[in-house]
Structure 1
Amino acid sequence: MKNLVFPDDAQFWYETLRSFGHITYGGADFGEVVSTSTRIVEGDYGSWHDEWLDTSDRVAAEARQALEKGHLVSARDGFLRASNYYRSAEFFLHGNPCDPRHHHAYDRSVECFHAAAALFTPRIEPVRIPYEGTTLPGYLYRVDTSAASRPTVIMHNGFDGTVEEMYFFGAMAGVERGYNILAFDGPGQPGPLHHDGLVFRPDWENVVGPVLDFALALPEVDGDRVALLGNSMGGLLAPRAAAFEHRLAAVVALDGVHDLGRAVTNIVPGDRDEAERRLRAASDPELDAQLEHLIAANPVMRWALNHGMYVMGAETPRAFGAAYLDYHLRDGIAEQITCPALVCEAAEDLFFAGQARQLYDSLTCPKTLLEFTAEEGADAHCQAGAQRLALARIYDWLDDTLHHRHAAG
């Protein structure tokens, strides 16, 4: 989709499109996104933060006033939008992990989401999921208060998104269709990273396992019909978990990713083996200089390398690249998935072009590929801007897949 704003900064445009996309489930209003984005200086992270924070504060204040006056629907809607806007405000600040601005905006995003969650019927319940001596933050979305056993989708975000954002990226779409939803943040994602310092780990099955244990103990969860959905980088993490966690009835990769290492080895001179050797080397001043040049010259690389250091706990761009090499479904991992798998593919994926098809081709389980195009307005990474369309197709597939499993049982 052509950049409508920020013509020279693909990353700023994608993050704007992301908010436009969240309009469909109440995460933004068109005029608020337009008025905010037109005030931002292109490429200026401080300007991005300041303008989105200003919008967030204004919307949150109006939501609080509505709540005080008993206008509960207006308050709920305002808190939802404010939560998403605060998420956007802190998005580009992770190059300095000690910057208090991104901690403030993140905490305000969570606070606003909690305020909105309490105003739903049934209430969206914040949960803490036991995990290796601590807990992971999440939310349980119930269709109703009957405690009836229902198909359930466990879902998580990816490289840079929050568990709160999953409301817009699939949780409410599932509730509308009769699914209970358990959404969570894992290590490397905002809640565990901000408050426990937990960085990403490649063996995601050891994250999903405890979450699945938690879900299966809930009376409203039909243990035979539990699916896992991963968004963005989650399109690699969720299939990775499904390869080793065979209690799942289905897995959805939104969008599919086969090998994160390709994203870094493709920017290093030489073949794959040489690129990996250089990334893992104790010292490579030439490559370090090349990566610093990329950060200065390319808006997407500037954000990705700085954010990547933050979420992987890496001290340099090259160390982040070396860590990324461990995130893949090669060497027979994808082939270990046995449950039905849905792989989504965006025609103009900004980050993982071609990887969805590569994942799909490597699968030996029952599999489906969903292709999204520019003609549909759905060609961007994770179908940002076409979420009603994408989620309709995803849940239709889940309906068919889990109904077949239920009928067979």
Structure 2
Amino acid sequence: MKQLMFTEDPQFWFETLRLFGHAAYGGSDFGEVLAAASTVKAGDYESWHDAYRGMADRLYAEAADAGPVTARDLLLRASTYYFSAGFFLHGDPADPRIDASYDRSVECFRRAGVAEPVEIPYKDTVLHGYLYRAPGDGPKPMVIMHSGFDGSAEELHFMGAGAAAERGYHVLTFDGPGQPSAIRRGIVFRPDWEHVVTPVVDFVLGLDGVDPGRVALLGVSLGGELAPRAAAFEPRLAAVVAVDGVYDAGAAVTSFLPWDRAEIVRRANAEHDEEFDALLRAGREASSTLRWACDHGRYVMGAATDREFVAKYLEYTLEGGVAEKIQCPVLVCEAADDLFFGGETETEPRRLAAHLTAPKTLLTFTAEEGADAHCHVGAQRLAAGRIYDWLDRTL
């Protein structure tokens, strides 16, 4: 999609478009985002924080004296803006504004009352999430949803959970390792996502009213690699949806480097590599996306340096026959102009689809539809309609 704001900063434009898109399910209002964005200076993380924190604080205060429906709507939008306020601050994990904005985002979402908070047993702790119960008697299908590199369980309400719930699905959203509620307890990302999803499947199968033969998994963004990875080793899933599909997540980083993947892996894991470090520094200066990805990546992967982050991130791949192990039907979504996983010759969704031996559908979203951005953030209702119609037919 053509950049209408922040024309020299693709990352700021994408995050603004992401916020515009949340309006489809009540997570923002167009004028509010436009008003906040108009005060932001491209590339200036401080001005971004201040703009969205200020908007969120105003809505939070107004909700205190509002009627129930109005308060719910105000709190849902405030939740979005609080989360966005802290989005670019992770280069300094000690910044107190990170927890302050996130905690208020969660508070607002829970007060809005659109889903039931749940705790899912995981190793010696829990994963935090939300349960949406479908009305009516009898077993219902269940959609398990998780985000990816930078999204939250709360945000998933606007990126498919609300849409699934209104179509009669039970829905469970959750934050896995490395995702917001987990990383704040020191639980960093892990590539073997099946060890995350299996206890979540155990949890949903223990709930009343869930049809055990109709449990689907949907992953968003990096979740488009994580969810297929889990499906390769979790036979109880009846379908998996990758929004958008990712075969090798490392491609989003290796495209900035002049070596082949094997050489990048070797050098990223070396004890010292001044040339590699210099290239990453130069890349940060040239690319707003790489700058943000490295800052956030160190935070969520538990990496001390940008190069260590790259080394860890390269583990997120379905190479080596993993994609071929998936047995259930797979929906692979593709954005025609994906900022992160587009690829010059072959997109990551198409690479994933090419390696699948299970029944598969490739669903491409285009600029003409206003849906060509990563995860179709500008066209959430269009995307949800097509995804859940596929899931209806498949389950």
Q: TM-score, normalised on structure 1? A: 0.94
Q: What does residue range 3-402 of structure 1 map to in structure 2 within 5 Å? A: 3-66=3-66, 71-117=67-113, 120=114, 124-144=115-135, 146=136, 148-194=138-184, 196-353=185-342, 354-402=347-395
* Structure 1 alignment gaps of length 5 or more: 403-409
CA–CA separation in structure 2 for the residues paired with 1:326 and 1:176: 36
- The Cα shift of 1:42 comes to 1.3
Question: Counterpart amino acid of 2:353?
Answer: Y
Q: How many residues align?
A: 391
- The Cα shift of 1:4 comes to 1.3
CA–CA separation in structure 2 for the residues paired with 1:108 and 1:27: 15
Is contact 1:59–1:82 with CA below 8 Å preserved after alignment? yes
Q: Deviations over 1:157-191 (max 9, x none)?
A: 11000000000011110011110100000000000
CA–CA separation in structure 1 for the residues paired with 2:285 and 2:213: 50
52-61 vs 274-283, which deviates more? Answer: 274-283
Q: Deviations over 1:40-81 (max 9, x none)?
A: 111100000011000000011111221xxxx11101111000
Q: Deviations over 1:254-290 (max 9, x none)?
A: 0000011222222222222222211111110111011
CA–CA separation in structure 2 for the residues paired with 1:159 and 1:281: 24
- The Cα shift of 1:142 comes to 1.0
- The Cα shift of 1:394 comes to 0.2
Is contact 1:36–1:52 with CA below 8 Å preserved after alignment? yes
CA–CA separation in structure 2 for the residues paired with 1:140 and 1:270: 45
Question: Counterpart amino acid of 1:389?
Answer: L
SS at match of 1:96: coil
Is contact 1:139–1:182 with CA below 8 Å preserved after alignment? yes
SS at match of 2:119: strand
CA–CA separation in structure 2 for the residues paired with 1:212 and 1:82: 31
Question: Counterpart amino acid of 2:62?
Answer: E
- Sequence identity (%): 61
Partner in structure 2 of residue 406 of structure 1: none
- The Cα shift of 1:149 comes to 1.5
CA–CA separation in structure 1 for the residues paired with 2:315 and 2:332: 21
Consecutive aligned runs of 4 or more in structure 1 exceeding 4 Å deviation? none
CA–CA separation in structure 1 for the residues paired with 2:79 and 2:365: 28
CA–CA separation in structure 2 for the residues paired with 1:265 and 1:303: 15
- The Cα shift of 1:147 comes to 5.4
* Structure 2 alignment gaps of length 5 or more: none
Is contact 1:148–1:219 with CA below 8 Å preserved after alignment? no
Is contact 1:265–1:276 with CA below 8 Å preserved after alignment? no
CA–CA separation in structure 2 for the residues paired with 1:336 and 1:139: 29
From the superposition, tell whether residues 110 and 147 of structure 1 become closer, same or farther in structure 2 (CA, over 3 Å): farther
Is contact 1:256–1:345 with CA below 8 Å preserved after alignment? yes
Q: TM-score, normalised on structure 2? A: 0.98
Alignment root-mean-square deviation, CA: 0.9
CA–CA separation in structure 2 for the residues paired with 1:21 and 1:52: 16
